[in-house]
Amino acid sequence: MSAVSEPRRLTIGSSTGPYEVIIGTGQLAEALQAMPTVVVADRIFESMLTGMWDGRPVLLDATEPNKTLSTVEHVIQEMKLVGLRRDGSMLAVGGGVVQDVATLAAQLYMRGISWSLVPTTLMSMTDSCLGGKSSINVGSTKNLVGGFYPPQTIHIDPIFADTLAPADLACGYLEAVKIAYCRGPETFLDYLRVATEPGHAGLTEVVSLTLSAKRWFIEVDEFDRAERRMLNFGHTFGHALEAGSHFAAKHGIAVGIGMLAALRYVAEERALTEREVALGDYVSGLVDGVIDRVDLHRSTDWELFRTAFDSDKKHRANCYALILPCQEGLGVALREIERSGDSLQRVQAALEGALRGSKP
């Protein structure tokens, strides 16, 4: 395993001021040295924190059903209990679930306190840690409410990826390649090169390349109105597959299959480019390493899939909004297609083809 000596640093511009990302070893200890008043962490890090921090962390179970407003309220009550004032600070340690809850709690507590983040899943290191978004589930609706409230510093230590389950690791790489692909041909080629480098050094390269690419999107379009929407590549198909499969497909895996479906949709119209074929091959390899696509096809409720696709909040009244690969510009673009039964059939056929696994 190769050691990473000097930490990498990246500054991100945002409407609330710049914030910094540091990537290197020992970043949890580094973050604790800033003496946060309160630490909100995934419960699995309880014993790790006991040896490193004197206080009593607020521990959360990182499950989707736990990503609720009442969990946010619980965190806020704990913050009050330890006497956190407006000049104090919070440190969040965990993946996307902990991040979503902590972001909203930090934004709401006394109308906003300073906070920092140690992302511990590959998805949160390469994707969700940047952008300052929070998304909380309400009732049965996923990610219905939230806000924008970036942390002050993001401390990334690739060592956390060592203990991730293979599916969580694959989810991280799938979101990462999506960002690199959407940023354009050169970034995608650079990604394919660094993604095969071994150990923490390779992971550091993947994380910094992906975050630099994502930084471009959030700096030109912080509030998700134009360029940043391209990052929904794979997501419109993917979210509907998550719902149709009763969440048997994890988010990152569903997004991967969503990218394959988008490629297949385009392959019905024209021959795929070399770059598009390379994306398909890379994504298929990751997906097949952790899930049986044929099983998933069999167990998916297709009526539920169509209902979920139809009600995606990204569509407009008369048309479906798809992010599809294209030959111009960065390589993906928004395409609006007529909202009709025929269009829905074409969308389903593309996704079914992606699940059957034959080449587009």
Residues in contact with ligand NAD by the rule CB under 6 A: 42, 44, 62, 64, 67, 94-100, 120-121, 123-124, 127-128, 131, 133-135, 143, 160, 163-164, 168, 171, 251
Closest CB to ligand NAD among residues 156, 272: 156
Closest CB to ligand NAD among residues 150, 325: 150
Nearest distance from residue 341's CB to ligand NAD, in Å? 30
Contacts of 64 (CB under 8 A, 6+ apart): 97, 137, 142, 247
Distance, CA of 292 to CA of 315 (rounded, Å): 30
Q: What is the dihedral of CA 100, 104, 106, 110, to 10 degrees?
A: -170
Closest CB to ligand NAD among residues 160, 188: 160
Question: By beta-carbon distance, which residue lies closest to ligand NAD?
Answer: 96
Using CA atoms, how far residue 44 sits from 95, 173, 303, in Å, is 11, 22, 37
Nearest distance from residue 208's CB to ligand NAD, in Å? 18
Using CA atoms, how far residue 14 sits from 86, 133, 218, in Å, is 21, 12, 8
What angle in degrees, to the nearest 10, is found between the helix axes of 251-267 and 235-244?
120
The two beta strands, 19-23 and 8-12, are antiparallel
Collapsed DSSP state (helix, strand, coil) of residue 359 = coil
Closest CB to ligand NAD among residues 94, 353: 94
Strands of 38-42's sheet in order across: 8-12, 19-23, 153-156, 114-119, 89-94, 38-42, 58-60
CB 103 within 8 A of CB 154: no
CB 123 within 8 A of CB 172: yes
Closest CB to ligand NAD among residues 98, 296: 98
Nearest distance from residue 339's CB to ligand NAD, in Å? 26
b (16+ CB within 10 A) / e for 319-337 = ebbbbbbbeeebbbeebeb
Closest CB to ligand NAD among residues 160, 309: 160
Nearest distance from residue 356's CB to ligand NAD, in Å? 26
Nearest distance from residue 6's CB to ligand NAD, in Å? 23
Nearest distance from residue 169's CB to ligand NAD, in Å? 9
Closest CB to ligand NAD among residues 97, 347: 97
Nearest distance from residue 267's CB to ligand NAD, in Å? 28
The residue whose two tokens read 């997501």 is 235
